[in-house]
Chains A and B, each alone.
Chain A
Amino acid sequence: MSTTTQERYSKSDELERSRSRPRTIIGTLLTILAFILLGIALLPLFLVIIYVIIRGASRFDLNLFTEIPPAALQEGGGIASAIVGTIILVAIASVISIPIGVLAAVYLSEFSSGRIARWIRFATNVLSGVPSIIIGIFAYGVVVLSTGTFSAVAGGFALAILMLPVVVRTTDESLQIVPQEVRWASVGVGASDFHTVLLIVLPAALPAILTGTTLAVARAAGETAPLIFTALFTRYWPSGLFQPIPSLSVLVYNYAAVPYENQQELAWAASLILVLLILLTSIISRWATGKSTY
């Protein structure tokens, strides 16, 4: 038996690659096909980025970042108030959704029992699938109608609801990745659950949590629908948390289709800034992922 095996493998020239073997040909064809499909899939991405850069670059100067949008038919101006507005809105949303989301995920992953956790996870998935315009209507009903005014708070609230399921899910997933054995090790040296979560599990999951929340923030910054009837829009600098507030996405929505060229250019510049923001956050999150522990 062993001699036949020996004989079978003794012809070592079969080890060499042969281009004519059917296996090699099919392999090569499939690789080429996959490569072409990849190109087709990436094409829209490149086209969008290039188009936005080309259209947006013409107004990409200092004024863009220092001046407020001009009135109709006026020349010049920038989108500074909208940039500040977006930052404020996202900050409000983050302050609400990140602590709640992270704590909810800690509860889900570390303290809840199987059945409750399954239902909460299901509910978060449903919430993340709710169209953003519906979340806008909800925020309109809850905050705008009860405070009697469109406001930064209402917009931030809507964005917070939008971010919440993303924060919960990514944090939950990052906590689940931390191996069970590490929790055991901590509990095994006499740590309480509180110590284990706070000093071992959360730090280990932190890079992954950062990645998730950064992406949630980026997504919120680009949302338009929930802001249209909560934060509304103004040309002017934000004047208070309970006043309407401008934002980049609503600026794009309002200005892109008006018949004034100046406004259209500003809309493109704002789009460019949003795209850059997303690129930047993606890079940050990649960097954070690179630091991840597990």
Chain B
Amino acid sequence: MSALERNQEDRSDRQQQNTEQNSEAVLQTEDLTVYYGKFAALRGVFMKIFKNKITAFVGPSGCGKSTLLRCFNRLNDLIDGCRVEGKVIYRNKNLYSKKIDPVEVRRRIGMVFQKPNPFPKSIYENIAYGARINGYKGDLDELVERSLQQAALWDEVKDKLKDNGLSLSGGQQQRLCIARAVALKPDVVLMDEPCSSLDPVSTGKIEDLIHQLKQNYTIIIVTHNMQQAVRVSDLTAFFNAEEGEKGNRFGYLVEYDKTEKIFENPQEEATREYVGGRFG
């Protein structure tokens, strides 16, 4: 067993203890390793995501935060050459077992992407589409209005619901994507830097939304903004990237704990440097 592996094992034990919460784990990874082609982009991740908690993923660019997020709703299936080893357990089922239908997984685990990606359809259709293909029986108009209100976009678009979603500004598009994700009332919402193209006012609104969603949903949010992690999250996971034997970089989970702990009293030197360098 290499030093690195032993080190990681210690860490995962400690994380397991430190993050032991009263709430149940909705998602759990066991020795999750993700390859793009031959190279591992993310190695040996053990972690639990707890119900009705907001978990923040932080870490330098390229350390595999988006990659890990995509494992939770099997979106990596769509990437050519991407291979996942290890387990992702969602409510007692291994998502990567052969019996699992990825389409069902994605209905339960919604996602907001790093780059805004509205459908090239009307604003209304952007939200109605997901509901329709999922066989939503209720009032679509009402669903559209409620979702847009939740995403703090309703006032800006209520008079032009027929306009193409692509005609909105970048920040508005991102809020449309958030509305689209929450419209489906998923069990878990994965948010990949949802505020990176938003102004401070909309960011505030989105953060309020995230807090509000916490009542009913489990949320994972990737962010490069340390203050945001502190403001919104209950738990924070810090990832880092390291040079592998063959010179390829791979990411791994360094430390995962309650947010206060990560920011005030991290156990790892790397975490201290990263969050300390940017915060406080």
Nearest opposing residue in chain B for A192, CB measure? B103
Nearest opposing residue in chain B for A181, CB measure? B117
Give bound CA distance, A176 to B95, whole Å: 29
Q: Determine if B78 and A185 form an interchain contact, defined as CB atoms under 8 angstroms apart.
A: no
Give bound CA distance, A294 to B119, whole Å: 11
Which of A114, A181, A186 interacts with B115 by CB under 8 Å?
A: A181
Which stretch (B104-112, B199-207, B221-229) binds chain A?
B104-112
Give the residues in chain A near B113, CB-CB below 8 Å. 181, 184-185, 188
Q: Determine if B118 and A190 form an interchain contact, defined as CB atoms under 8 angstroms apart.
A: no
Residues on B close to A: CB < 8 A?
Answer: 73, 75, 78, 80, 103-104, 106-107, 110-111, 113, 115, 117-121, 129-130, 133-134, 166, 177, 180-181, 184
Nearest opposing residue in chain A for B190, CB measure? A188
Give bound CA distance, A187 to B184, whole Å: 13
Give the residues in chain B near A188, CB-CB below 8 Å. 73, 75, 106, 110-111, 113, 181
27 contacts between A and B (CB under 8 A): A179-B117, A181-B117, A183-B78, A184-B75, A184-B78, A185-B117, A185-B177, A185-B180, A187-B75, A187-B78, A187-B106, A188-B73, A188-B106, A189-B106, A189-B107, A189-B181, A190-B107, A190-B130, A191-B130, A200-B119, A200-B129, A203-B120, A204-B119, A204-B120, A293-B120, A293-B166, A294-B120
Closest approach, in angstroms, between the C-beta of A31 and any C-beta of chain B? 36
Give the residues in chain B near A184, CB-CB below 8 Å. 75, 78, 113, 117
Q: Please give 6 more A-B residue pairs, beta carbons under 8 A apart, in addition to A185-B119, A189-B134.
A: A184-B113, A189-B107, A190-B104, A191-B133, A200-B119, A294-B120
Give the residues in chain A near B106, CB-CB below 8 Å. 187-190
Q: Determine if A191 and B117 form an interchain contact, defined as CB atoms under 8 angstroms apart.
A: no
Closest approach, in angstroms, between the C-beta of A256 and any C-beta of chain B? 47
Give the residues in chain A near B166, CB-CB below 8 Å. 293
Give the residues in chain B near A178, CB-CB below 8 Å. 120
Give the residues in chain A near B119, CB-CB below 8 Å. 182, 185-186, 200, 204
Q: Determine if A191 and B184 form an interchain contact, defined as CB atoms under 8 angstroms apart.
A: no
Give the residues in chain A near B184, CB-CB below 8 Å. 189-190
Closest approach, in angstroms, between the C-beta of A123 and any C-beta of chain B? 21
Number of A-B contacts (CB under 8 A): 73
Nearest opposing residue in chain B for A205, CB measure? B120
Q: A187-B106, A190-B133, A192-B103 are in contact. Are A114 and B78 (CB under 8 A)?
A: no
Closest approach, in angstroms, between the C-beta of B159 and any C-beta of chain A? 23
| Candidate in A184, A188, A195, A203 with the most chain B CB atoms within 10 angstroms | A188
Give the residues in chain B near A280, CB-CB below 8 Å. none
Nearest opposing residue in chain A for B177, CB measure? A185
- Is A199 located at the chain interface by the 8 A CB criterion? yes
Closest approach, in angstroms, between the C-beta of A165 and any C-beta of chain B? 25
Give the residues in chain A near B117, CB-CB below 8 Å. 179, 181-182, 184-185
Give the residues in chain B near A195, CB-CB below 8 Å. 133
Closest approach, in angstroms, between the C-beta of A126 and any C-beta of chain B? 25
Q: Determine if A189 and B78 form an interchain contact, defined as CB atoms under 8 angstroms apart.
A: no
Closest approach, in angstroms, between the C-beta of A119 and any C-beta of chain B? 16
A 107-126 binary contact with B (CB < 8 Å = 1; else 0): 00000011000000000000
A 203-243 binary contact with B (CB < 8 Å = 1; else 0): 11000000000000000000000000000000000000000
Give the residues in chain A near B120, CB-CB below 8 Å. 178, 182, 200, 203-204, 293-294
Give bound CA distance, A190 to B187, whole Å: 13
Give the residues in chain A near B104, CB-CB below 8 Å. 190
Q: A200-B119, A293-B166 are in contact. Are A189 and B133 (CB under 8 A)?
A: yes
Nearest opposing residue in chain B for A204, CB measure? B120
- Segment 11-33 of A: residues with Cβ below 8 Å from B: none
Give bound CA distance, A113 to B78, whole Å: 11
Give the residues in chain B near A179, CB-CB below 8 Å. 117
Give bound CA distance, A190 to B113, whole Å: 15
Closest approach, in angstroms, between the C-beta of A115 and any C-beta of chain B? 11
Nearest opposing residue in chain A for B131, CB measure? A189
- Segment 241-294 of A: residues with Cβ below 8 Å from B: 293-294
Q: Determine if B103 and A114 form an interchain contact, defined as CB atoms under 8 angstroms apart.
A: no
Closest approach, in angstroms, between the C-beta of B234 and any C-beta of chain A? 24
Closest approach, in angstroms, between the C-beta of B263 and any C-beta of chain A? 31
Q: Determine if B129 and A189 form an interchain contact, defined as CB atoms under 8 angstroms apart.
A: yes
A 152-196 binary contact with B (CB < 8 Å = 1; else 0): 000000000000000000000000001111111111111110010
Closest approach, in angstroms, between the C-beta of B68 and any C-beta of chain A? 16
